[in-house]
Every structure is written in structure tokens, then in C-alpha cells.
Amino acid sequence: MKKKGLYYFRSIAIVITMAMLFYSCADSYKRVGDEAIKKIFPSAVAEDFTLTYTETDELEKNEGVVSAHVIAVLTSPISNDFDNLAFPHRTFPDGLMVEFFDEKGEKSTVTADYGIIYSSTNLIDLQGNVVIETSDGKKLEAPQLYWDRTNDWIFTQEKFKYTNPEEGTIMDGEGMDFNRDFSFFNANKTYGYMSIKEKKIEE
């Protein structure tokens, strides 16, 4: 009887010890996990943010005359500045709009639900309902686009819809790259064209 009681006592002691050990490990893991997650805060937050991109004419610059013209204006309700990090960037959590101006001063617009500017690479990542509309009526819609500011090039690997009123067509595809004014447009994969021109009815 004594041996049986001692056996039960040892079993209970082992169970309690294991439970304490498990609880201790779980608590320690939780605390270490919380400490490992570093909360990142922006160094600055700007409301009604506006960023203007200008370009200097090289010929006038060589002649000693310095003048610049606006090539793009970026506006957003709010901007978070993370330029203090190892990989500096700026985010636009409430969306943004970019207005492009060509040499004639004609305007094209880009809108998106979210955006990131990577300062070190001059790359803008546009996400969510991205729409580009040119001054001559061309329209591109995609879930995500990248704008390379250094080379003035736009590209994506996502699906897109391209409407060209000049040709009267709508093109669906996946993956493409093009320059800002759509004078060069390369689609990786297309699903077909659809004519949007209305035929005149002959009487």
C-alpha cells in the first residue's frame, strides 16, 4: 500500500513539474517574441503633402542660365517619412496622385490607394486601383505599378487593362513596361483586343 501511494505521489509530482516547466517555457517564449518585434515609427508625418519634381534644361545650364520646369507633382493626404532607416522610404497610406507634365505642358495623372517612395533607388511602388490617364485619353488600370524615376520608366508584372481611344481598342494582358507618354508600350502577355468604335449605320 505504501509503494502504491508513493507511486501516485511521484506521478503527481512529475505532472506538476512538467506543467511548471511548460508554463515557464511558454511565458519565456512570449516575452522574447514581444521583445524581438521592433516597432517602427516614422521620423516625421506630413498632412496635405505635396512633392514637386523639376528638371533643368542642359543647354541653358551649359550657357550659365539656370532654369527648371515642373515635370511631376505628387500630392497625398498624409505622408510618413522613414528616411532615418537603413533602407529609407516614404509611405502614403491614404493614397496619392501624381500629375505628369510633358514638354508642351499637357498633363497626365496617376492615382493609387497606397504608395511607397524608395529614396535610395528612386523607385515608386504604387498599389491598389492604380489608374494612369494621359492627356490624349489613354487609360491604364492595374493593381500595382512601379515607376522608375531615374529612367522615367513604368512597369508591372500584374494583370492590366489598357484603353486606347485613338485606336478604339481595349487590351487586357499581364505584365508590361512603357515610358511615361505611352510612345513605347510593351506587353508581356495579352488576352486579346476589343473594339470600342461605333460603326456608322448607313441609310
pLDDT per position as a tens digit, 116-146: 999 888 889 999 999 999 888 889 999 999 9
Question: Band of the pLDDT at 76, cuts 50, 70, 90?
Answer: very high
pLDDT at 62: 57
Structure-model confidence comparison of residues 22 and 175, the more confident one: 175
Question: Band of the pLDDT at 77, cuts 50, 70, 90?
Answer: very high
**Which H helix or E strand runs over 147?**
strand 139-148
CA atoms of 162 and 164, how far apart (whole Å) = 7
- The pLDDT > 90 percentage for the chain reads 32
**What's the rounded mean pLDDT across residues 59-63?**
57
Over 70: is that where the pLDDT of 63 sits?
A: no
The domain covering 44-195 belongs, at the CATH homologous superfamily level, to Lipopolysaccharide (LPS) transport protein A like domain (2.60.450.10)
Mean pLDDT computed over every residue of the chain? 78
Question: Band of the pLDDT at 14, cuts 50, 70, 90?
Answer: low
pLDDT at 169: 86
Q: What's the maximum distance between 2 C-alpha atoms anywhere in the chain? A: 113
CA atoms of 188 and 72, how far apart (whole Å) = 27
Determine contact, residues 11/17, Cβ cutoff 8 Å: no
Claim: this prediction has a pTM higher than 0.75: no
**What's the rounded mean pLDDT across residues 102-121?**
90
**128 backbone φψ class: left, alpha, beta (φ>0; ψ -120 to 50):** left
pLDDT at 6: 45
**Which H helix or E strand runs over 21?**
helix 2-36
**Pairs from 135-142 (Cβ < 8 Å, separation ≥ 24):** 135/102, 135/106, 135/107, 135/108, 136/165, 136/166, 137/165, 137/166, 138/162, 138/163, 138/164, 138/165, 138/166, 138/182, 139/163, 140/182
- The pLDDT > 70 percentage for the chain reads 70
Structure-model confidence comparison of residues 5 and 74, the more confident one: 74
**What's the rounded mean pLDDT across residues 70-97?**
91
Structure-model confidence comparison of residues 128 and 164, the more confident one: 128
